[in-house]
Amino acid sequence: MYRSHNCGQLRATHINTEVTLSGWVQKSRDKGFIVWVDLRDRYGITQLVFDEERTSKTLIEQAQNLGREFVIQVKGMVIERASKNPNIPTGDIEILVSELNILNEALLPPFTIEDKTDGGEDIRMKYRYLDIRRNPVKESLIFRHKVTQEVRNYLSKDGFIEVETPYLIKSTPEGARDFVVPSRMNEGQFYALPQSPQTFKQLLMVGGMDKYFQIVKCFRDEDLRADRQPEFTQIDCEMAFIEQEDILNAFEGLTRHLLKEVNGVEVEKFPRMLYDDAMRLYGNDKPDIRFGMAFGELNDVAQHKDFSVFNNAELVVGIAVPGGNSYTRKEIDKLISWVKRPQVGALGMVYTRCNDDGTYKSSVDKFYDQGDLAKWAEVTGAKPGDLICVLSGDKNKVRAQLSALRMELAERLGLRKPNEFAPLWVMDFPLLEWDEDTERYHAMHHPFTSPKPGQLELLKTNPGDVKANAYDLVLNGNEIGGGSIRIHDKETQSLMFDYLGFTPEEAKEQFGFLMDAFQYGAPPHGGLAFGLDRLVAILGGQETIRDFIAFPKNNSGRDVMIDAPAPIDDDQLTELSLKLNLKS
């Protein structure tokens, strides 16, 4: 038996109990005549004591030679700790060691295994197995487990059946590049790793499963960032014989359950916002509604004077920054520089101070009088003491720029509080979006999304105006889930493929199996997929997902720990009928 108890288990009630513990040496303190060692495992830390009055000289010498992260086993008696530590659960006791067994020596770690470590991200990713020993990472992985278990329990109790779908599938265009896998047994042919189990879950509905879910790995070969990985996990769900309202109610219930059970937060309201309103009021389709600063469109009150910057703009739009009048000129200049960064792309920013006495002071006082500026304040909802920030230009670009500024200001003002949760449904996305490069429409979600009822005929005349029967669930400014009511008949699906530029032959080659299945009685169906990595991070109060993934990739899609991806040898290439044509 390596241990009778774990290192977070013992309390004062265990005093005078003989125990066996195993774990890693966190640190030691050597006073010569007495040695203390902190022993750590997943469950906590227990202090060990080696005392020359009660411990053999040989045992003390062994303890003095212990290094950080040595794996050891000890036997001893639980005694009352003379100097108690109220900061840890085991702080009332310590172990008077009678036997020490070194199970494995360890090199000195390249960074300290502490909550606040001296290791940068690159070195910690290279030695991720050591990083996992640190409490923040360990607790994040345990937190992910808790969320995942709650999801499984909730959906299972609600009648959903967990079904696994294949990882080796056919390459289909779904918006991002596929990861492809060569087939040795089928020369010159390739599998693809699934971007989602989309077609399979629809086939499960044709198969009569009625309610399906799966916690599943998905793969997309796309540019990465802090909340995106080439392999990620979805909570994938589908339901038959439902309408949009059924989907929204089902997954509001799951989200409400997770917030209550995981975070202890009761959330009753899930507001709904049209996509067009989200873009108009917040400049993006996943607005953070924990705070205000909604956009005010100023064209009607700003384009009547001789200020060509505004007069020549498609959109003039502003936000009221609460308490922003306290900003110094230097601080405002830094904000202007911030919006002019290439990542944001604004050409400049106009601002207006809302003074406590009801007057206004603006960077464009030359063109606008107090009455004009009062109208700006009215449109943006600015109050005395606020600052109005105004951008102008192309409608789509300027909305994105002001959205970035809004989020940056909210971060600086401490308005994005991680322990507050504000869910939101964003509804009625465009069904199609125009791609300038290919000069044709693409599906905003995927080719299987149905148009809103009654809008099918509009595809023939104004395809860009057709709304999708689609919805995203947003939490604290992050999309945590998205889905739609699917097309479930062959005729409508064929029409959709036509508008996406597929020839009948291409549609049959790519999706013939699905079209064939629809001819055998497909029920009305729809679903939603949560991004588990992002959901867990937000519930855990974080913006980035890496610490909630055991072995994440870096921003280049590399696993620096195992050095992957890596070349394969010539024999493997020959076996797969592949020849490399690398650019020098």
List the binding residues. 174, 220-222, 229, 445, 479, 486, 531-534
Cα 454 to Cα 458: distance, rounded to the nearest angstrom:
8
- The tokens 């502003």 sit on which residue? 318
Q: Where are the alpha helices (DSSP H) in 413-520?
A: 458-461, 490-499, 504-518
Cα 331 to Cα 490: distance, rounded to the nearest angstrom:
59
- The tokens 């610490």 sit on which residue? 547
* Residue 240 near residue 204 (C-beta atoms within 8 A): no
End-to-end alpha-carbon separation of the chain, Å?
58
DSSP-based three-state secondary structure for 185: coil
What single-letter amino acid sits at 202?
Q
Which candidate, 432, 318, 291, 437, places its Cα nearest to that of 373? 318
Q: Where are the alpha helices (DSSP H) in 223-285?
A: 244-263, 275-282
Q: Which residues contact 172 (CB under 8 A, 6 or more apart)?
A: 178, 192, 199, 510, 511
Longest dimension (CA), the chain: 93
Cα 339 to Cα 349: distance, rounded to the nearest angstrom:
8
Cα 578 to Cα 556: distance, rounded to the nearest angstrom:
24
Q: Where are the alpha helices (DSSP H) in 269-367?
A: 275-282, 299-302, 308-311, 329-339
Residue 275's φ and ψ, nearest 5 degrees, are -55, -45
Query: What is the chain's alpha carbon radius of gyration, rounded to the nearest angstrom?
Result: 30
Residues making up the binding site for ATP: 220-222, 229, 479, 531-534
Backbone dihedral region for residue 130 (phi beyond 0: left; psi -120 to 50: alpha; all else: beta): alpha
HEC profile for 521-539?
A: CCCCEEEEEEEHHHHHHHH
Cα 468 to Cα 426: distance, rounded to the nearest angstrom:
12
Cα 38 to Cα 46: distance, rounded to the nearest angstrom:
6
Residue-wise DSSP of 401-466: HHHHHHHHHHHHTT---TT---EEEEE--BSEEEETTTTEEEESS-TTBPBPTT-TTHHHH-GGGP
Give the Å distances, CA to CA, from 75 to 46, 337, 575: 13, 63, 56
Residues across the chain: 584
Q: What are residue 316's DSSP bridge partners?
A: 392
Cis-peptide into 182, omega within 30 deg: no
Residues making up the binding site for L-aspartate: 174, 220, 445, 486
- The tokens 């909340």 sit on which residue? 227
